[in-house]
């Protein structure tokens, strides 16, 4: 039986990132989080390097979900377009 992870969102993600997403992308990203990150986040999330070491990313089309695994919880820190996500993450850490 697989360990089920709980998902927590950073307040900035809830207030800024999710409302800016177009409705079709919002649904695709929600589906990816529910199906992949709740079951095996270390399998689907690729580790980040350099200044973002310790964080992982999940690619959904042109969007990136940046998260950190904390015991049985996955904390989502950003859901942004790939062109800006890493610039913004340096400020959010």
Q: Where do the domains of the chain lie? A: 6-92
d(CA 4, CA 40): 8
Q: Which helix (H) or strand (E) holds 57?
A: strand 56-60
| Residue 46 phi, psi (nearest 5) | -85, 130
Region 5-30 average pLDDT: 97
> So what's the pLDDT on residue 90?
86
Output the pTM of the full model. Answer: 0.93
Query: When comparing pLDDT for 45 and 93, which is higher?
Result: 45
Of 60, 59, 53, 52, the C-alpha closest to 25 is 60
Range 6-92 classified under CATH 3.30.2310.20: yes
Exposure on the CB side of residue 14, measured as CA atoms within 13 A: 6
């Amino acid at each position: 039986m697989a360990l089920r992870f709980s998902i927590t969102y950073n307040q900035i993600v809830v207030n800024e990132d999710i409302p800016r997403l177009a409705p079709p992308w919002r649904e695709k990203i929600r589906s990816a989080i529910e199906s992949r990150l709740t079951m095996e986040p270390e399998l689907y999330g690729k580790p980040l390097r350099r200044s973002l070491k310790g964080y992982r990313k999940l690619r959904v089309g042109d969007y990136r979900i940046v998260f950190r695994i904390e015991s049985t919880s996955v904390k989502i820190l950003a859901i942004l377009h790939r062109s800006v996500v890493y610039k913004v993450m340096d400020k959010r850490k």
